[in-house]
Structure 1
Amino acid sequence: MKARVTVAVLTVALVAYFWLLGQRGVYLLELGTVVGVGLGIGVLLLPVVGIVLVVFELRFGAATARLARKLAETGDLPDDSELARRPSGRIERAAADEYFETIRTRVEADDRNWRLWYQLGYAYNLAGDRKRARSAMRTAIELAGP
């Protein structure tokens, strides 16, 4: 629930920022000068790109949350409770790497299983590789279907 509130607040802040940016773009267009029009078009493109990126991120988050709910219903959510932790509570790198290797081996044996791809994304995240974690989650989303 805390994550949803954070996402909502940040989304509202971005929409407000995009609105203000759009107003500046329109103002620059209204100047009528070549430079003003050029800058105005550039400034107006920024909110469009930003909105597209926000929509993609929200869809990605909703899709991963949907998969997490499915896994929770069957009791298949990844369990990292047994992994060694630092005093701060973070999982030790060696333990995360070992967990990752276990999941990677399972995925190699059954690479069409979205549940395993979700676990692989989780394992990548534990190991600190966010880019590959997102890629594995995208694969899980594709395999799970609608």
Structure 2
Amino acid sequence: MRAFGGAVTMALVLALYLVLVVTRAVAFLQTGTPVGAGIGVALLVLPLIGAYLLVRELLFGLQATRLTRRLAAEGPLPGDDLPRRASGRVERAAADAVFEPYAEAAEARPDDWRAWLRLGLAYDLAGDRRRARAAVRRAIALSR
């Protein structure tokens, strides 16, 4: 829940930034000069890209949370039984040690969203965020 609150806070900050950029873009467009118009158009395009990326990331987070809750209802998640530090994070060596079965399960069942989500969670525990996101994206696509 903490991560969701952080994501909402960042979304609100980005939304405020986008509003400020759009007001500056309008001011540049009203100058009537070609350079001002060019800067104004560029400032309008950048917030659109930012808004698209923000919505995309929020949807990813919501879909991943939904699938993780479904998987948690079916049984324990990867890392639930691993030793943890005082901070609550899983010990990295323990996460690396149990990673392999999840990778093998995803290879054995390439069309099973559960196997891919477990693999994504295992990657996350091992600290490989890029592969974790890719595996979770695949799980989301397979769950549809």
TM-score (norm 2): 0.90
Query: Which SS does the other structure have where 1:31 is aligned?
Result: coil
Root-mean-square deviation over aligned CA pairs: 1.7
Percent identity reads 46
Map 1:59-138 to 2 at 5 A: 59-75=59-75, 77-86=76-85, 88-138=87-137
Question: Could you list the per-position Cα deviations for residues 8-53 of structure 1 after superposition, in whole angstroms to 9, with x for gaps in the alignment?
Answer: 2221221111000000011111111121111111111111000000
Amino acid aligned to 2:128? D
Question: Could you list the per-position Cα deviations for residues 41-75 of structure 1 after superposition, in whole angstroms to 9, with x for gaps in the alignment?
Answer: 11111110000001100111111111012112222
Alignment partner, residue 36 of structure 1: 36
Structure 1 unaligned residues grouped into runs of 5+: none
| Distance across 1 between alignment mates of 2:84 and 2:61 | 27
Aligned length: 144
| Distance across 2 between alignment mates of 1:11 and 1:139 | 24
CA contact (8 A) 2:25 2:39 kept: yes
Shift of residue 108 of structure 1? Answer: 1.5
| Distance across 2 between alignment mates of 1:42 and 1:123 | 41
Shift of residue 123 of structure 1? Answer: 0.7
Following TM superposition, where does structure 1 have runs of at least 4 consecutive aligned residues deviating by more than 6 angstroms?
none
Shift of residue 107 of structure 1? Answer: 1.3
Give the direction of change, closer, same or farther, for the CA distance of 1:57–1:111 in structure 2 (3 Å limit).
same
Shift of residue 86 of structure 1? Answer: 4.4
Shift of residue 99 of structure 1? Answer: 1.7
Query: Which SS does the other structure have where 1:11 is aligned?
Result: helix
| Distance across 1 between alignment mates of 2:67 and 2:128 | 20
| Distance across 2 between alignment mates of 1:104 and 1:74 | 19
TM-score (norm 1): 0.89
